[in-house]
Structure 1
Amino acid sequence: MNLVKFLIAPSLLALSLPMSSASAQEAIAFEHFTLPNGLRVVVHEDRSTPKVAVAVWYRVGAMNEPEGRSGFAHLYEHLMFNGSENHDDEWFPPLQEIGASAVNGATSLDQTYYYEIVPTGGLERVLWLESDRMGHMLGAVTQEKLDEQRSVVQNEKRTYENRPYGRMNNREMAAIFPPGHPYHDSVIGSMEDLDAASLDDVKDWFRQYYGAANAVVALAGDISADRARELVERYFGAIPAGPPTERVERWVPALDSARADTMLDDVPQVAIARDWVVPGRGTPETASLRMAAHILGRGKNSRLHTALVKEGKMATAASANYMSMAVAGVFSISVRLKEGADPEQAKRRIDEVVEEYLANGPTAEELERAKTTGHADTVRAFESIYVRAMALADGTILSDDPGAYAQAEREFAAVTADEAQDIARTWLGKPSYTLTVLPYGRYQVSAETVDRSAMPGLSPSPDLVMPELQRATLSNGIEVNFIRKAGTQLAELAMVFDAGSAAEQHATRGILGFTTGLMDEGTQDLTANEFANQQERLGARIGHAGNLDETAFHLSSLSRELSPSIALWADYIRNPGFREEDIERERDAALSGLSQSLVNPDSIAQRVFGHLIYGEDHAYGTNLAGRGEAIRSFTREDLEAFHQAWIRPDNATIYASGDTTLAALVADLENAFGNWQAPAEAGGQKTLDPVPDPREGRVVLVDKPGAIQSIIRVGAPMPDGLSADVFELNAMNEILGGSFTARLNMNLREDKGWTYGASSYISGARGPQTFGVTTSVQTDRTADAIKEIRRELTEIRGARPVTADELALVRKGQILGLPGRLETNKALVGYLQYIRRFDRSYDWLAALPDRYNALTPESLTATAQTRLNPDAMTWVVVGDLSRIEDDVRSLGLGTLEVWDAEGQKLR
């Protein structure tokens, strides 16, 4: 489960995704109604998958917080997951056992929202739970819960601010919005205000804002409007409307003159942010401001990226963004400079790019590309019922119109060059703020008819039905695996090569990422700009991804443009340009990324841990020292040789899913790849040798002076991904640390409040895998957290063995969530890749219920006894050694060394 909250979110979908009117209306046909108590309900029916997305939104956010209570809306959101009067327990277990997914909540400046995706048979349980915390919350809120979640939120704040550039956003918002403006304070708040929050504040907040008339329930998926009305009336109809809430009027403050600040932070690159306060959502200016952000700063073909990164060679990244919110909007430009670049020169170049746009506006080609790309983005996003539910709720809560997205998309599609120029000139011609970060109604209540003494059970769920898998072979031997998914208007393809980072075993480490990164910069016949233009013209997305074992090149295409998109994809894979100017630009970006990773404590911990597990010589190994020298050494000949050794037809498999037929797909693929022949030279080689089990514990400390948190990683090598007990190993890990409700997170976050999250994982490699635990904790609890982690690793082996209840929760969550696992084309392609990588049969997913049902608490405890040895674990801790070293040494975890961020032993 994703624990990250969007601290400052633009209105979720209606104004962040440009859409063509026809496509979006086809995607979201809805009905809406209002209960007598004022609760608004929106329903979108889609019977294609037996699940329902549930979104419950409240019109209350950080903008509603009184002075001295910043962060309160977000703190209350956390409390909503800690139980209600009739379910005074953790929120997640009853949802996990019915197979719910995407369970979370978030707070923005304008609203707070909660959401779940559940199998159809579990809908009543979710509505019971959501209505219980809407209407029956006060009696369950205690001082103990408030203190616990206050600590969790404060650790979340530390987590964000401990990252490079983590304090910029708060600084910018406080500068552009004056005191008293509802957007002046950050969503997460200040430590002092969080400390000041009282139990009475919590209860007053609930009474004021969590009434039915201030909320929206959106349901999308396997449900009719009539059934939705019946269920929502049953569960929510008796909840009081709550007091009237005042709407905050639009307030777009203006700066009298340009302002600039400089902030010092522990960052590797100079960062420049430039902000204008502009009109927000639902205004005549919205569409043109979105257009300006797209053309000026979206993607590698944007004006800012071209001017500062490609041509100016002074930055590694340059972008623009428009946040459209209820009271006002923010138009932002963000630039990260190369080492040694002059910030003042970069600011002058930003001025020139903006001034040129204001003087001449966008070109016809830029307008067309932006609209086509927006259309393609929308089709992809709205394939998910979750996105549809959130869009409907967003429009209802902030615009009083579930279909607000349709008006927004019509306006974006209708933007003309003159309108875009005029509105940009009006607002971006005003004074701006620059931050430079330098290194260092009357309602009735129906009668209560719900029995709240017992939570609803789960009605029967359908079995997973596997779609038909079709196969073919191109004339050059490339195997094609295809699943037809009609009606999506999309196709998703992946060409997968048996490479991955393991392909660097006998090469210079880092060359894979350097090679694939440069492939994004164009082909032999298309420059980077031309390649980006072609993708935008087709509405296609082309890119790469990889893991330890495989390297994949992906294509996401509109079905109507599949033939030319495949042709462009083939050119990208087969004929990379590897131009010298692109190589130098990628080299600069890679070196900047390396510099940033050397000051990012999470990156340091990850690299050092991987190095300790695998070493340098193993195929999965990493080198810590010399990475900069390697990046500086790569030549065009090196890249061409690596590409020829690994990116070749005799090492490739194609996986595809989408709204086409196998015959049409194979014809397009044959035209694009059929004449591609393997080089005469042998391909690359890699060997996945086993990794010996460590005989004793080992600890490596890395100093991060002044760090407010310590990053902790601990683990050990595991057998390969094809081993007989890998299924049991993953099931055991789910109980130990693989979910929100697992032992590690419930201990360190929910019980102790020392961290924002703690988890464990099995790395999922085909060869030797890794078991790992990862968390970041407040500095003064570093040694205590290590002791608790070690205790959990020890107790699951027998002192506190796996219980029947824990196994039942995992079993239910995994089995009941199966019908939704293959919802999208991307999910289907990913599944095909997965089963090939691990030698699974196609029906492996459908057979999972039998495998889960065969597990026993004893078998999982035995797996923990066999695979986990707390006395022979490898520990990595990155933090302020002046405050933590002595305490960690006293734990006696094993031999202890102090390293620097590049792997050099200091003592």
Structure 2
Amino acid sequence: MKRTIALTCALGLAAGSPLAAPAVPKTAAPNTVAAAPYQRDAYVIPYKKFVLQNGLTLIVHEDHSVPIVGVNIWYHVGSRNEKRGKTGFAHLFEHFFFNGSENYPHGFREAMDDLGTNNRNGTTNNDRTNFFEDVPVSALERTLYLEADRMGFLANYISKEMLERERGVVQNEKRQGENQPYGRVHLEKSARMYPYSHPYSWPVIGSMDDLNAASLEDIREWYRTYYGPNNAVVSLAGDITPEQALALVKKYFESIPPGPPLPRTEQWIPRLERNLRDEMEDHVPQVRIYRSWHVPGWRDLDSTRLAVFSDVLAGSKNARLNRRLIDEKQLATAVSAGVDVNELSSTFDIAVTVRPGVDPALVEKELDAVLNEALDKGPTAQEVARVKASALASFARGIERLGGFGGRSDVLAESVTYGGAPDAYLRQLDALTAVQPAQLKTVAATWLRAPHYTMTVKPFAKLSAAAQAIDRKVLPALGDAPAVKFPAMQQATLSNGLKVRLLERHVAPIVNVALAFDAGTSADTPAKAGLASLTLELLDKGTRQRDAYQMSDALESLGARLTTGTGPDMSVMRLQATSANLAPSLALLAEAALAPAFPADQFALAKQRRLAGIAQEKAQPNALALRTLPALLYGADSGYGLPPSGFEQSVASLTREDLVAWHRDWFKPGSAAIVVSGDTTLDKVVPMLEAAFGKWPAGQAPAKPKTTDAGLASAGKRIYLIDKPDAPQSTLLAGHLSLPPGQPEDLAMEPVMQNFGGMATSRLNRNLRLDKHWSYGGGARLSSVRGPRNFYTLIAVQTDKTKESMIEVDKEIRGIAGSRPIQGDEFTSIMRNMTSRLAGRFETINALEAAALETINLGLPEDYWANYAPNMRALTPPQLAGAAGKFIRPEDVTWVVVGDLKKIEPRIRELGWGDVIVLDNDGKRVR
């Protein structure tokens, strides 16, 4: 974020960007090669500038040499715009920009990777925030759409959850930076050098206290104030014409409303009244001395001239400080000097890393001697010519690139942001190339004979550890797993028959409310597959009273969040609320559940997203296999056999009226239940629920379609192959139908499945990942449905080990089914795992809610979870073996293998495991 800059940045260019080089003196110095005269035109970056009606500035540089465009967006907002007590907002908001936006609620980084971008990032400093990416020209329109969406449509997408997540990320970034050697120096330096009221006196990343105190409204207000188009520059450089660029930018950006006008201080250069000195100890290997002076900001050409002087002092082997301190006197191991350029003011900085064993006072004495000599006599013509030539070459190397730090798009954006014109950098180049030794001597004396700040960082004093008092070869014993208490599941019924269950927990002032309907994907038919999940997805996208944005604002104003989900047997709406705002939050939940509008525009967008999502599922080998197997096991007409997302043809055929009808049929209080968990009581919450849902007319949902053909449960081994040409891995999915829930052995199957394929060190992973290294890892599970459950294993293996891996998976299935039961140390280990992790399993109210929903869905006894821990601890090896033998049937396994058939099919057929059938990615037989 903050960076110490040598000559390149004194030109106002971003760190790493090349510098404009100076003109060569008429007479070359002895023993040097004369540099070519400064040709200004060679450094001009042609551009066209446009200003949209909303104030957005567009700069376009046309270059068709490669089919990419450097996209660089600068917002004229940084930490200087913050106030004490509310610092770190600019940098925090930079993080928000990568989370997605209202119309593209997905990660921006992932989107950019998908588009084939390079050199992408975002940065924040005192004065600006920028985002940049180099994109293939084919992806430019998509990129501009995404950039416009996060410029204009981010506020309603920012959630409390996002704030908490990104606040934590930034705080860890702050810890990481400060944990580096010399990482705290800049914090101390800024606080000491600048007046308390100066906006550079706090760090760009902010303080921990301020980050912790930041509220959602604080963040939204910051966004509304500073991220409008009138405070931004879009700079495009590359394979595009100005006319094309203007059309695209108008299309996506011009309708974004401008933000408020912003007052802006142009210059504030503090003056130190006397020399200041600090000393700190840190976890550093060597003493380092920092010396800093206040100097002018970006617009003042003295900052450019001072950068030349800094390179005279340091920056090359032959520079004065390098030569004296490192080579001649051997007092230091590293020396640097530069101008840290900012808009209001800059600092001239010298840093010297002291050679071990050398007295820092001696180093400071020599530093002062070198500096005073340079100030007294000025630099030589040879030194100035060398620095200017080097700087020009550096600048030229930078503008070879279209994008990124120091590339053409970056230079133009920075120039218009700080200098008021896209070619403002040329003034700096002119000043650089024109400066002569006498002028440089005057400028340096003006600014560097003023009082300065010195910080000396020393290693911590050596400490010693206590004498060894334990034998570290002895592994400490484990105590018994802690007792686990599950809160009582309290019950009530509303006047319309809606059942209520409450699990109290008062550790935080939050409440979860889940409204569960007896529907789910098993309520779908093949012709309307995907209808249940699509209906749920649109419930919070607008009601008869509010559109999607108004609903979002209403929820967020209460600190509430509403989400939906669809499982095989249940459809669920989840509300996360604060206990203080529970009643109005419940009213919004009821509004979304009972009065959805299913707006036509939102419906159309949801269908588009769903169809794209299905295509993605079919392109992913694991997802494709998981879409295919259920229909093979349950039958094509079974609700359990349908993919939750649906098929392209079924989703394409859905109408808004289908969603309205599905909602009308399945949203009935007699077929629903409400689960409340968290900081409330039954006496408090039931009147609230009655007020929100009591007027919902009583009724019952229809009977569901059949979920399975029982005859398929013992179909025998079959292998289905799906071709994925040139795939480097094969996905192996092996499964069969097993028993429905309600069996006496259900509990014992949990440690069986955990040990077989539920953790990183499961049998499956120990074999194929840890021992043979044929796979990154896989897993196994027994699905949680009301009907016959699906036992399956899923693992991706290297292509040339497909047949061998199938043999190993089959061996592991046979082993867990009976030939190698869990016993001895393996039993002890898995039961320790199962019982010890119970303490954390129900830590959150989300976990309590999930347990209650499972109770409702599977018809578990009301005291099931209260007795869960002691019942788990009481299991024995014979019980696990009996459960595995009853639930897992190796001879009934159906295989789905997705891979490069030209490489794997012949060897799979060699197995002789029954019929081998080739399917397409829609699950239809090819041969």
Mapping of 1:559-570 within 5 angstroms? Answer: 559-570=579-590
Which one of the candidate residues 90, 94, 100 is aligned to 1:288? 90
Q: Give the aligned partner of residue 668 of structure 1.
A: 688
Deviations 1:674-718 (A, max 9, x none): 000135x86343444546433421011111112121111001111
Give secondary structure in 2 for the equivalent of 1:554. strand
Structure 1: gaps (5+ residues): 1-10, 12-175, 181-254, 265-271, 310-314
In the alignment, the residues of structure 1 paired with residue 163 and residue 148 of structure 2 have an alpha-carbon distance, to the nearest angstrom, of 32
Counterpart check, 1:500 vs 2:520:
yes
In the alignment, the residues of structure 1 paired with residue 63 and residue 766 of structure 2 have an alpha-carbon distance, to the nearest angstrom, of 46
Q: Give the aligned partner of residue 209 of structure 2.
A: 406
Q: Give the aligned partner of residue 537 of structure 2.
A: 517
Q: Give the aligned partner of residue 761 of structure 2.
A: 741
Contact 1:542 1:554 in 2 (8 A): yes
In the alignment, the residues of structure 1 paired with residue 683 and residue 497 of structure 2 have an alpha-carbon distance, to the nearest angstrom, of 16
The residue type paired with residue 766 of structure 1 is: R
Which one of the candidate residues 728, 747, 762 is aligned to 1:727? 747
The residue type paired with residue 407 of structure 1 is: D
Contact 2:523 2:639 in 1 (8 A): yes
CA change 1:387–1:626 in 2 (3 A) is: closer
In the alignment, the residues of structure 1 paired with residue 220 and residue 653 of structure 2 have an alpha-carbon distance, to the nearest angstrom, of 48
CA change 1:520–1:849 in 2 (3 A) is: closer
Q: Give the aligned partner of residue 861 of structure 2.
A: 841
> How much has 1:737 moved relative to structure 2?
1.3
CA change 1:579–1:695 in 2 (3 A) is: closer
Mapping of 1:118-137 within 5 angstroms? Answer: none
The residue type paired with residue 406 of structure 1 is: D
The residue type paired with residue 539 of structure 2 is: M
The residue type paired with residue 233 of structure 2 is: G
The residue type paired with residue 612 of structure 1 is: L
CA change 1:457–1:332 in 2 (3 A) is: farther
Structure with greater contact order relative to length (CA < 8 Å, sep ≥ 6): 1
Q: Give the aligned partner of residue 764 of structure 1.
A: 784
The residue type paired with residue 89 of structure 2 is: A
Instruction: Out of 868-877 and 712-721, give the one that drifted further.
Output: 868-877
* Larger Rg belongs to: 2
Give secondary structure in 1 for the equivalent of 2:529. coil
In the alignment, the residues of structure 2 paired with residue 457 and residue 742 of structure 1 have an alpha-carbon distance, to the nearest angstrom, of 23
The residue type paired with residue 429 of structure 1 is: V
Counterpart check, 1:789 vs 2:809:
yes
Which one of the candidate residues 848, 870, 878 is aligned to 2:898? 878
Give secondary structure in 1 for the equivalent of 2:581. helix
Q: Give the aligned partner of residue 806 of structure 1.
A: 826
Q: Give the aligned partner of residue 90 of structure 1.
A: none
Contact 1:511 1:634 in 2 (8 A): yes
The residue type paired with residue 580 of structure 1 is: A
Counterpart check, 1:603 vs 2:406:
no
Q: Give the aligned partner of residue 195 of structure 1.
A: none
In the alignment, the residues of structure 2 paired with residue 702 and residue 328 of structure 1 have an alpha-carbon distance, to the nearest angstrom, of 55
Counterpart check, 1:581 vs 2:601:
yes
The residue type paired with residue 704 of structure 2 is: Q
> How much has 1:433 moved relative to structure 2?
9.1
Contact 1:506 1:686 in 2 (8 A): no
Q: Give the aligned partner of residue 463 of structure 2.
A: 444
CA change 1:663–1:378 in 2 (3 A) is: farther
In the alignment, the residues of structure 2 paired with residue 349 and residue 595 of structure 1 have an alpha-carbon distance, to the nearest angstrom, of 22
> How much has 1:594 moved relative to structure 2?
1.8
Give secondary structure in 2 for the equivalent of 1:577. coil
CA change 1:692–1:326 in 2 (3 A) is: farther
> How much has 1:177 moved relative to structure 2?
11
> How much has 1:655 moved relative to structure 2?
0.4
Give secondary structure in 2 for the equivalent of 1:768. coil
Contact 2:104 2:146 in 1 (8 A): no
CA change 1:503–1:789 in 2 (3 A) is: same
Contact 2:79 2:126 in 1 (8 A): no
Deviations 1:53-99 (A, max 9, x none): xxxxxxxxxxxxxxxxxxxxxxxxxxxxxxxxxxxxxxxxxxxxxxx
Which one of the candidate residues 907, 918, 925 is aligned to 1:898? 918
Contact 1:624 1:902 in 2 (8 A): no
Give secondary structure in 2 for the equivalent of 1:545. strand
Give secondary structure in 1 for the equivalent of 2:664. helix
In the alignment, the residues of structure 1 paired with residue 135 and residue 914 of structure 2 have an alpha-carbon distance, to the nearest angstrom, of 41
Give secondary structure in 1 for the equivalent of 2:739. strand
CA change 1:262–1:277 in 2 (3 A) is: farther
In the alignment, the residues of structure 2 paired with residue 261 and residue 659 of structure 1 have an alpha-carbon distance, to the nearest angstrom, of 63
Deviations 1:136-172 (A, max 9, x none): xxxxxxxxxxxxxxxxxxxxxxxxxxxxxxxxxxxxx
Contact 2:561 2:575 in 1 (8 A): yes
CA change 1:428–1:711 in 2 (3 A) is: farther
CA change 1:707–1:892 in 2 (3 A) is: same
Deviations 1:848-902 (A, max 9, x none): 3443344333333343333333333111111111221112111222210111101
Deviations 1:809-853 (A, max 9, x none): 221122222232222121111111122222323432342344334
In the alignment, the residues of structure 2 paired with residue 811 and residue 278 of structure 1 have an alpha-carbon distance, to the nearest angstrom, of 56
TM-score by length of 2: 0.58
Contact 1:698 1:874 in 2 (8 A): yes
Deviations 1:194-253 (A, max 9, x none): xxxxxxxxxxxxxxxxxxxxxxxxxxxxxxxxxxxxxxxxxxxxxxxxxxxxxxxxxxxx
In the alignment, the residues of structure 2 paired with residue 631 and residue 257 of structure 1 have an alpha-carbon distance, to the nearest angstrom, of 44
CA change 1:275–1:873 in 2 (3 A) is: farther
Contact 2:521 2:642 in 1 (8 A): no
Which one of the candidate residues 672, 694, 704 is aligned to 1:685? 704
Deviations 1:595-630 (A, max 9, x none): 222212122111111111111222312279992221
Deviations 1:531-575 (A, max 9, x none): 222222222111111211111100001222222111111110001
Instruction: Out of 845-854 and 555-564, give the one that drifted further.
Output: 845-854
Counterpart check, 1:826 vs 2:841:
no
When the two structures are aligned, how many residues end up with a matched partner? 618
Mapping of 1:312-461 within 5 angstroms? Answer: 345-347=141-143, 349-350=145-146, 373-374=159-160, 397=179, 405-410=208-213, 429=233, 431=235, 441-442=459-460, 443-446=462-465, 447-461=467-481
| Alignment RMSD (CA, Å) | 4.8
Contact 2:89 2:206 in 1 (8 A): no
Contact 1:616 1:623 in 2 (8 A): no
Contact 1:292 1:424 in 2 (8 A): no
Contact 2:633 2:713 in 1 (8 A): no
In the alignment, the residues of structure 1 paired with residue 631 and residue 65 of structure 2 have an alpha-carbon distance, to the nearest angstrom, of 40
In the alignment, the residues of structure 1 paired with residue 237 and residue 794 of structure 2 have an alpha-carbon distance, to the nearest angstrom, of 38
> How much has 1:279 moved relative to structure 2?
13
Counterpart check, 1:539 vs 2:559:
yes
Mapping of 1:86-101 within 5 angstroms? Answer: none
Contact 1:278 1:427 in 2 (8 A): yes
Contact 2:513 2:675 in 1 (8 A): yes
CA change 1:868–1:604 in 2 (3 A) is: same
The residue type paired with residue 735 of structure 2 is: G
Contact 2:490 2:682 in 1 (8 A): yes
CA change 1:744–1:389 in 2 (3 A) is: farther
In the alignment, the residues of structure 1 paired with residue 135 and residue 741 of structure 2 have an alpha-carbon distance, to the nearest angstrom, of 39
In the alignment, the residues of structure 2 paired with residue 537 and residue 698 of structure 1 have an alpha-carbon distance, to the nearest angstrom, of 55
In the alignment, the residues of structure 1 paired with residue 135 and residue 783 of structure 2 have an alpha-carbon distance, to the nearest angstrom, of 32
CA change 1:586–1:467 in 2 (3 A) is: same
CA change 1:283–1:466 in 2 (3 A) is: farther
Deviations 1:652-691 (A, max 9, x none): 1000112233222222211111000135x86343444546
Q: Give the aligned partner of residue 287 of structure 2.
A: none
Instruction: Out of 715-724 and 799-808, give the one that drifted further.
Output: 799-808
In the alignment, the residues of structure 1 paired with residue 870 and residue 135 of structure 2 have an alpha-carbon distance, to the nearest angstrom, of 52
